[in-house]
Amino acid sequence: MTYIDLINQFWALNKEYSFTPNETILYFALLDTCNSLGWKNPFNQSNRHLCSKCNFSENTFSRARNVLTQKGLIDFKSEVGRRRNTVYKIKYLKICGISGGISGGISGGISGGISGGISGGISGGIQTAVNQHDNNIISSEEIPISSEEIGSTASLFDAVEEEISSTVSNFDTVVDTVGEEIEEIEEISEYVSNINNNINNNIYIIQEKKKTKAKEQSFFSPVEDEFEKFRKAYPGTKRGHATEFGNFKKKHADYKTAVSLLLPAINNLIEWRNGRIAARQFAPEYKNLQTWINQRCWEEELPSGESGNSRKSGNTDLRKLLEEKLSNNQNSANE
């Protein structure tokens, strides 16, 4: 049993059972694990590790594993314990021994059979004749050999030589056929190897992305954690945590003390703006978070008496604003 035998076995069964992509990924992941362990079979492996390697959920993993077991490709036995390792065994059904069967059987059988049979038969026959000649010590005077017998023997020798030549020619044809089969097997093996490498690369990329995301979400300092709560609550346009916190830290030396003021300030701004909208009064849009931080907007005092529930207060404010503008215009004219 070789790596190529197992691969050929899988693709032969695939023609009949049409394995799903998940079942294919799991089988080659188990082959890769067995290979990396020096073809230790059976071998221990954590189900959680296999799920992570194949990027499967537990249910998807269990379904794929059960199908491979039912089709006779693998066998497994779950252990009892905290780590819950499982013993896996790669099974070989001896239905796809192409490389071993063809190259070993044909080349070994034919070359051994033909060359051994021919050379052994001829050399054995000649040796037998020599032994009989030595034992009997027959001289040409006792049994005379006629020219007809010599011609018949020469014809027989020519026939044997022709038969040997024909057999060798047939052997060369078989060898050429076996060579073509081996080349085809090597191409299939290379194709499967490329697929396996692509799977491993994709699994590695996914795992690295998960690690990066976990690092971004974990290990926040208390200051960063408080800033993140504020950033998530901010309703305006904003960027990621690292960018916004880096800007806040860079722009304000007192960021460690100021961070506790951010969330209460934005909550007050939201409440004030909602009151304005409910009173059908003008409510300015939220600034970009970077602008809000750069301008230290948490220190702004919101105008009082502008979040009333009637239109009257809004009209009064507008009248006051108009009166102030008229007064300013008159002062400018007098000057």
DSSP codes of every residue in 101-147: IIIIIIIIHHIIIIIHHHHHHHHHHHHHHHHHHHHHT--TTTS---H
Tell me the one-letter amino acid at 31.
Answer: L
187 and 227 together in one domain: no
What is the pLDDT, as a whole number, of residue 183? 84
Whether residue 195 sits in one domain with residue 241: no
Q: How far is CA 164 from CA 114, 127, 176, 202, in A?
A: 9, 19, 18, 56
Structural domain contains residue 132:
yes
Residue 128 lies in a domain: yes
Tell me the whole-structure pTM to 2 decimals.
0.32
Asked whether residue 143 is domain-assigned, the answer is no
The percent of residues above 70 in pLDDT, for the chain, comes to 70
Pair (114, 86) in one structural domain = no
Q: How many residues does the chain have?
A: 335
**Confidence (pLDDT) at 223:** 94
122 and 190, same domain (yes or no): yes
Q: How many structural domains is the chain composed of? A: 3
CATH number, domain of 48, equals: 1.10.10.10
Query: Is residue 335 a part of any domain in this protein?
Result: no
pLDDT at 295: 95
Residues 104 and 58 grouped into a single domain: no
CB neighbour list of residue 108: distance below 8 Å, 6 or more residues apart: none
Verify that 74 and 106 share a domain, yes or no: no
Do you find a cis peptide bond into 42, omega within 30 degrees of 0?
yes
Written as one letter, the residue type at 195 is I
Say if residue 103 is in the same domain as residue 190. yes
**How far is the C-alpha of 185 from the C-alpha of 173, rounded, in Å?**
19
The verdict on residue 312 lying in a domain is yes
* DSSP-derived secondary structure letter, 297: G
- pLDDT value of position 132: 54
**Among the three residues 214, 233, 263, which one is the final residue of a domain in this structure?**
214
Same domain, 102 and 209: yes
CA–CA distance, 225 with 52 (Å, rounded to integer): 29
Question: Residue 84, class by beta-carbon neighbours within 10 Å (0-12 exposed, 13-18 middle, 19+ buried)?
Answer: exposed
Read off the amino acid at residue 73: L
pLDDT of 60: 94
Shared-domain flag, residues 157 and 232: no
Domain extent at residue 252: 222-330
The answer to whether residues 122 and 201 belong to one domain is yes
Q: Please check whether residues 80 and 106 belong to one and the same domain.
A: no
The answer to whether position 281 is within a domain reads yes
Is 280 part of a structural domain of the chain?
A: yes
Residue type, 47: N
Residue type at 128? T
Positions in the chain whose pLDDT score sits under 50: 96-107, 110-111, 118, 126, 129-130, 133, 136-143, 306-315
Which of the listed residues 191, 214, 237 is the one where a domain comes to its end?
Answer: 214
- Residue 305 inside a domain? The answer is yes
104 and 207, same domain (yes or no): yes
Domain boundary among the residues 50, 67, 90 is at 90
